[in-house]
Structure 1
Amino acid sequence: MDLGIQGKTAFVAASTGGLGLAVARSLAAEGARVAITGRRRERAEKIAAELEADGHSVVAIEADLSKPDGVAAAVERTEELLGPVEILVLNGPGPKPGAASALGSDDIAAAFEQLVKPHHALVSRILPGMRERHWGRILAVGSSGVVSPLPNLAVSNTGRAALAGYLKTLAAEVALDAVTVNMLLPGRIATDRVAELDQAAAKRRGTTPEEIQLESRKTIPARRYGEPEEFGAAAAFLCSAPASYITGVALRCDGGLIRSL
């Protein structure tokens, strides 16, 4: 299938590792011009060089989206090098684990600061151009906690649910402008972030990460963790031209982990 994104400019937030990098690789493989972004400039440059060596069109953008001027600087640099952004992938590091009963006011504020505010800033900066050109794709990397809140991840559950509400509302407002807005919800994908969560669970329960992983796999009908490449492929499709009639959707990529439809 031709995804129809050859030459499209994609800004992938937090794409120097994990799921963001998987999405960036998939978009680049489909011919999109991709901005690899992150706080680690040397890491971004290394990834960009590797992808360029494979014949892909990519640039490295040092970006701290948590700073007031970080979003503007990153988007301006991307558009200077690659042109107007037509595909926006919202992504970022997950907040610290913790129980809901232990949340303080600072934790609630952190949920919005980390998981809503930077993404809203990116959308606000890039969406007007998409609407003017009558084509755009906005995709947020979420969590299965949006559908079924995850134990001991209260801050993440709170912030990601808020982001989902904002994006679902936005999807209906911009559909006539041929801009789609979706979320892709990972289950247990084999990334460094999931490994950290497994280690934290093992420490909390006085066991080993390997035992936690074995228990986790038993809860997944596919009986395995997903591969980042599988997640990236699903993301590339949602950002594609053929996916133009899919909007306002939270699609799970979780091996059947969440048992609801």
Structure 2
Amino acid sequence: MDLGISGKVALVTGGSAGIGLAAAKSLAREGCDVCVAARNPERLADAVVELQEYGKVVHAVLADVEDPQSAERLVRETRDVLGPIDILVANAGGPPPGRFVDVTAAEWDVAVQRNLLGTVRLMRAALPEMRARGWGRIVTVTSRSAREAIDGLALSNATRSAVAGMVRTLAREVGGDGVLVNNVMPGPIDTDRLRDLSGGVEGLAERGANVPLGRVGRAEEVGDVVAFLASERASFVNGISLLVDGGESRVIA
């Protein structure tokens, strides 16, 4: 299926590894020029090498979305190098685990800045040009915790669900301008974060046993969903929060 986004410009944050890198690869495979942003310079350099295999223009920016100044800089630099942003994939690493009674005020501040306000700032920076051109796609990457609270992940439960609410709100405001806004909620995906939370490879196998498909997901399986939501083929999909969890969640609504 041709997704109809060849030649589009995409900015992917958290794009040096895991789901962010997988999303960047899926978009590059569909013909997008891609800017990836991340905090780790070595991993960012490796990601550029991998993405260049798809034959598209790739740019990288060292940035942390926790920094209030980073969003404007990311959008400006992407525009200067690749052109105006058509597709924004707002992805950030998950906050640390912890129960509500154990999380510190400082940890709350970091989680809100990185996982909520970082996304808000990216949207605000990229949105005006999308609306002016009458076409745009914004895809946020959160977690199953945005739909179903997970024990021991107080920070994720709070900030991820806030992003999902923001997506629904913004989608209603800008859909008429040709800008579609959607949210992807990955479940158990084989990433460094899940390995850390699960206690390594053996823990991943145990985690996968709870999924109806009998395994954890692969990052590229989420990346392809992101690319679809960013595409012309998803032209009537707006404001959703889509679970990509192999059927693990029992939530109906």
TM bin, normalised by shorter chain, reads: over 0.9
Give the length in aligned residue pairs: 252
Task: Work out whether 1:93 is the aligned partner of 2:84.
Answer: no
The equivalent of 2:49 in structure 1 is 49
Q: Secondary structure at the residue paired with 2:35?
A: strand
Are the aligned partners of 1:41 and 1:60 in contact in 2 as well (CA < 8 Å)?
no
Q: CA-to-partner distance for each residue in 1:159-203, whole Å, 9 max, x for gaps?
A: 11111111111110011011111111111011111101112xxxx
Higher alpha-carbon deviation: 170-179 or 62-71: 62-71
Over the residues paired in the alignment, what is the CA RMSD in angstroms? Answer: 1.5
Deviating more after overlay: 172-181 vs 94-103: 94-103
Distance 1:106 1:141, change over 3 A: same
User: Which is further off, 103-112 or 35-44?
Assistant: 103-112
> Secondary structure at 1:109's aligned position in 2?
helix
**Kindly tell me: are residues 9 and 28 of structure 1, through their superposed partners in 2, closer, same or farther at Cα, counting changes over 3 Å?**
same
Q: Provide, for residues 61-98 of structure 1, a one-character-per-residue CA deviation record: whole Å limited to 9, x for no partner.
A: 22222223222222211111100001000111111100
2:163 aligned with 1:163: yes
Are 2:208 and 1:217 aligned? yes
- Aligned AA for 1:213? L
How far 1:116 moved relative to its partner?
0.8
Consecutive unaligned residues of structure 1, counting only runs of 5 or more, are: 200-208
Q: Which residue of 2 aligns with 1:132?
A: 132
What do residues 133-153 of structure 1 show as CA deviations (whole Å, max 9, x unaligned)?
Answer: 110100000100111111111
Q: Could you tell me which residue of structure 1 aligns to residue 73 of structure 2?
A: 73
Q: Is the 8 A contact 1:31 1:57 kept in 2?
A: no
CA contact (8 A) 2:212 2:246 kept: yes
What residue is the counterpart of 1:205 in the other structure? none
Aligned to 2:111: 111
Which residue matches 2:123? 123
Question: What CA distance in whole angstroms lies between the structure 1 residues aligned with 2:26 and 2:62?
Answer: 20
In structure 2, how many angstroms separate the alpha carbons of the residues matched to 1:211 and 1:8? 40
CA 226–133 in structure 1, closer or farther in 2 if over 3 Å, else same:
same
Cα offset, 1:107, TM superposition:
3.8
The aligned counterpart of 2:222 is 231
* Distance apart, 1:48 and its partner CA: 1.5
Residue 85 of structure 1 aligns to a residue whose secondary structure is coil
Alpha-carbon distance, 1:36 to partner: 1.5
Deviation at 1:211, TM superposition (A): 5.2
Please tell me whether the aligned partners of residues 24 and 51 of structure 2 are also in contact (alpha carbons under 8 angstroms): no
SS of corresponding position for 2:209? helix
Sequence identity of aligned pairs in percent? 40
Whole-Å separation in 1 of the counterparts to 2:101 and 2:206: 25
Q: What is the alpha-carbon distance in structure 1 between the residues aligned to residue 84 and residue 178 of structure 2?
A: 16
SS of alignment partner, residue 219 of structure 1: coil
Partner of 1:259: 250
Q: Which amino acid aligns with 1:3?
A: L
Gap regions ≥5 residues in structure 2? none
Q: How far off is 1:44 after superposition?
A: 1.9
TM-score by length of 2: 0.94
**1:18 — aligned with what?**
18
Partners in 2 of 1:5 and 1:215 — Cα distance?
Answer: 38
Does the CA-based 8 Å contact 1:190-1:228 persist in structure 2?
Answer: yes
Aligned-partner Cα distance in 1 for 2:131–2:137: 10
Letter in 1 for 2:218: E
Normalization by structure 1: what TM-score?
0.92
Task: Find the aligned partners of 2:76 and 2:181 in 1 and give their Cα distance.
Answer: 22
8 Å CA contact retained: 1:138, 1:239: yes
Cα shift at 1:53:
3.6
Quote the offset at 1:114 in angstroms: 1.9
Q: Find the aligned partners of 1:260 and 1:153 in 2 and give their Cα distance.
A: 18
Distance 1:14 1:210 in 2: 23
Query: What amino acid maps onto 1:79 in structure 2?
Result: R
Other-structure match for 1:241:
232
Counterpart of 1:116 in 2: which secondary structure? helix
Partner residue of 1:145?
145
